[in-house]
């Protein structure tokens, strides 16, 4: 079988690695309309190596815990989250490669404080390059993020990579603004080894006064290998298509991360029908000479995009020298704004 044939076959069947809850195993045909299963657990999020397949009979069951913070369940409305009033404004979703986020970086208080301040500027940050054998990096970072009394939480994937130096993806998000589906969290399995670090996926919903109208969406967190960018971008095009078909009632897929490529280099990924990207012609690395990081989604499906996006310039924002900015990361955060409400015609 050719490599191309194996690649096509790979995306006909997805295996998701459970990161929170559940212990079922198996393969999922993508035309079942759902990749959700498992108990709706909350609490500590840890990586695991269990794969699962959903039960088709559960595809239409509620995915999010609508019982929490509901004032009147019959009206399907709520007015508070975590004891705070509902925030009625668009969502700011960012991606940030924090360049070797591990023990060495966490030992620098000024750097940790700056990262915490950056994360608090956004409602969701997809993180790449968590690199530590210890399990305390994200909990310690979260302490810094939440120090001013915030309510951020995180999801983290398994250690990935072909070399001895493994990396993890993570999502850090404001629980006043977003909630996740506990059955949706997983890592795309790649038995033919087409991707150096397989994407980490989860489905989220904006916390609004009316959950039935809130924006729901998949996030696909990815970091391509710089030596195999064209091949990996081709594989990511298939990942994107599969995620579009993974659930009948969800049409919003946002792929975000460090692609190691500018839009003109996206190839098959950029040729997915209707595909658009947030950043074009603007450097995203700290030295300001490369465009590596981006958010991609299809214009027709994700019309919740408001048209606002940008690159968070750490050096100018915090009045840092180049040397000090590079202590934080060699990448700058990239962000886009999305309505907190599903647009007309979007599946609920």
Q: Which residues are catalytic?
A: 167, 223
Got the DSSP string for 3-30?
HHHHHHHHHHEE-EEESSS------EEG
Q: Which of 277, 263, 266, 273 is nearest to 236 (CA)?
A: 266
Residue ranges in 203-254 assigned as alpha helix (H): 229-245
Coarse DSSP helix, strand, coil percentages of the chain, rounded to the nearest 5 percent: 25, 30, 50
φ/ψ of 53, rounded to 5, equals -130, 140
CB proximity list for 250: less than 8 A, separation 6 or greater: 203, 216, 217, 218, 347
Which residues pair with residue 296 across a beta bridge? 255, 277
CB atoms within 10 A of CB 2: 7
CB proximity list for 136: less than 8 A, separation 6 or greater: none
Q: Which of 188, 186, 121, 134 is nearest to 156 (CA)?
A: 186
22/52 Cα distance (integer angstroms)? 8
């Amino acid at each position: 079988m050719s490599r191309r044939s194996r690649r096509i076959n790979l995306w006909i069947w997805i295996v998701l690695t459970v990161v929170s809850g559940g212990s079922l195993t198996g393969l999922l045909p993508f035309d079942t309309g759902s990749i959700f299963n498992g108990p709706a657990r909350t609490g500590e999020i840890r990586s695991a190596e269990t794969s699962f397949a959903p039960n088709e009979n559960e595809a239409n069951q509620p995915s999010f815990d609508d019982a929490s913070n509901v004032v009147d369940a019959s009206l399907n409305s709520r007015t508070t989250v975590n004891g705070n009033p509902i925030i009625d404004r668009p969502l700011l979703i960012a991606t940030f490669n924090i360049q070797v986020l591990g023990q060495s970086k966490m030992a620098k208080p000024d750097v940790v404080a700056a990262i915490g301040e950056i994360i608090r500027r956004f409602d969701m940050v997809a993180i790449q390059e968590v690199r530590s054998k210890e399990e305390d990096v994200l909990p310690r970072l979260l302490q810094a993020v939440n120090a001013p009394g915030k309510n951020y939480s995180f999801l983290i994937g398994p250690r990935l990579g072909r070399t001895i130096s493994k990396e993890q993806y993570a999502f850090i998000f404001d629980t006043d603004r977003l909630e996740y589906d506990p059955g949706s969290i997983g890592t795309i399995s790649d038995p033919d080894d087409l991707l150096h670090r397989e994407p980490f996926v989860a489905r989220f919903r904006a916390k609004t006064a009316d959950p039935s109208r809130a924006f729901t969406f998949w996030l696909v967190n990815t970091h391509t290998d710089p030596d195999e960018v064209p091949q990996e971008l081709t594989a990511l095009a298939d990942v994107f298509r599969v995620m579009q078909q993974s659930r009948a009632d969800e049409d919003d897929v946002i792929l975000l991360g460090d692609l190691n490529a500018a839009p003109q280099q996206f190839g098959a990924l950029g040729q997915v029908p209707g595909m658009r990207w947030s950043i074009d012609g603007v450097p995203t690395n700290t030295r300001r000479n490369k465009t590596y990081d981006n958010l991609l989604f299809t214009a027709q499906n994700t019309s919740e995009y408001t048209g606002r996006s940008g690159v968070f310039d750490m050096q100018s924002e915090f009045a840092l020298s180049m040397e000090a900015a590079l202590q934080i990361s060699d990448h700058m955060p990239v962000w886009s704004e999305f309505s907190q409400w599903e647009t007309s015609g979007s599946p609920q």
